[in-house]
Structure 1
Amino acid sequence: MNFDFSDDQRLLQEAVRTMLAETSTSQAVREVLEGRASHCDTVWRNLIGMGAATAAIPEQYGGAGLGYLELCLVAEEAGRHLAAVPLCSSIYLAAETLLRAGSEAQKQHWLPRIASGELIATAALGSRERYRAGTPLGFDGETLSGSSPALVDGGSAGLAVLRAGNELVLVELDGKGVSRRPLPTLDPTRPLAELHFDRTPAERLPASGAAAVASRVHDGAAVLLAFEQVGGAARILQQTRDYSLERQAFGRRIGSFQALKHKMADIYTAIELARVHAYYGAWALSSDAPELPRAAAAARVAATRAYVFAAEEGIELHGGIGFTWEMDCHLHYRRARHLGQLIGSEHAWRARLADTLIEEAA
């Protein structure tokens, strides 16, 4: 039995890889890193135009209507090339929440705008969104008040899907009563912002069970982020290997030293273990299998560990030059740490994995 992706899916992946290699360059990523842009507009427009970013959005809502398997491969390439785009905020979180919790009118109005790239959206679905001063989000049926402390792409988004208590609400971020404050972050290529709402007009998403919807959206996002992490880890390993075959010390290429070979073998093993879990998660996500919570948690834990490990070891294996600003090693380390905290830390997902295994064994 063949557990790999199909030839057509691999062709899409190759097309995305080629495009990102040409556009998501180190220079383009650093423009966002240094605050000269909120995201790489060229990369984002290309992903939208190819139908890659919108692979899982149905055609009736302006998407490509391909599926989650294709989106997983797009995510892997985005991670491989450090794409500084609002893929997680707009697609993994906001669009997916609208698909699962929005009314038909809300889907018809907002999803085509997200799918066309006209609108960047974001979402915060945690059960305890809190402002620094302790003000929770409150929704009175018509307006939203309170704060959301760390919204991904919150500075550039025009729409947010937020969880206020037991309800999911939709709020336009160019409306009255909205104030934003950029937040310092380890990876400025994926910027965060603190948003405060003061009786801002908002509307309820009609689906019942905010906790269940949020959990399902986070499971899907965990699988997609795992593919980003696997792609990033594979890229830093490739760069490290290439460097070790060029750099010479004591009259030999450093890649010939056994200690370095062992380290790179350990990185490769961690990546392939994470890839197996990511593939299992992709199957569970695409088939909406009951195993999705377990598969997503396992993928999240394995991929987070693999990317952080690869990024840390990649810096060390590059030697003294690996710590410099000019090298891209720190870009992967920033991204690895950042992705490891989105939608919950590795420790939180490890606890969730343990809970699902205990429930299944009970």
Structure 2
Amino acid sequence: MPSVSARSHSVTVENKDVALLKSATIGRGAISDIAVAGGTLAVTHFAEDSVALLDADTLAPHRSTAVGQPTAVALGDGRAHVAVSSASYDAIAVVDTASGDVLREYPLAFTVTAITASADGKRLYAARAGETGVDVAVIDLTAERVGTIYVAKGEDAVIDALRLDASGRRLYVAVSDARGSRLLTVDVESARVRRTLEIGAPIRGLELGMDSIAYVLTSDIAEGGVLYFVDLVKNEIVDLAQVAQTPTQLAIGPDGTRAYVVDYDHVAVVDTEERAVVAEVSVGARPSAVATHGDRLYVADYDGGVTTYAVASPSPMLYSQFENAPSLVVPARRELQPLGV
């Protein structure tokens, strides 16, 4: 059961943005992912084959459910949707957040690498990597049926992040392979790739902000961690910021003024208006996952702990400065060839 952690915590560079609230130990070993919605925090614990459901304010445990080896989690409509892996197949387990019961399991072919849920929790999108390319499984949780959006060919292609816009009509898919990376815009209704934007280095995180701005986090040995600002209307990169050395995950605050980047030994707090790191948060262990909700920041780590912080932000950011910003030149790379539907 979760307990108060005795580990050290710190906020450096500028500590006015972040204040420590609570810390709890959820289990042994690394936490693979976390998600928060309403008053529930879902924590996937790979080493213990379980998903823990906590009170988002107090970190008090509600339920712990055995689900297989969980890799990712998304919350919606009173359900935790958990990507799980086993020796025979990957699957999506649907867990009731009130009772902790597993309501349904959807076995899926290939390897699930990322998931995202619609705002109403009625559909779940699961990125998959197969032998010849990548696709997205679309699970209609109401009708209990599964469809497929074919995305791209490539034996080494992988989707590390995907997000659905607020309208539920456009799915943004981050595809990386040995040749580079690209952000694909998929029309959900037609299940076709409509736009491709070359990014460059492998994509580690993707979030959607206000005013049709997307945040794309990349990482490689040469350039380290870079946060790209993408105008989704123009389908172009409008700015970038160096944010970390070896980032693995990204979260955006509700008002879009702060980005939180998981680096090797800390979480970098990025001012998205100034495009600069303004704080570094350490939890006394290597961070593994991060999530935001309201004025709260949740950081999970490789020692099985979760720490919550109160975060402050300035007035909501306006993106008018991007309207006349010049496009940045990105090295040309070969595009993946979309598959037919």
TM-score range, shorter chain: under 0.3
TM-score by length of 2: 0.27
Structure (1/2) with the larger strand percentage: 2
Q: Which has the larger radius of gyration?
A: 1
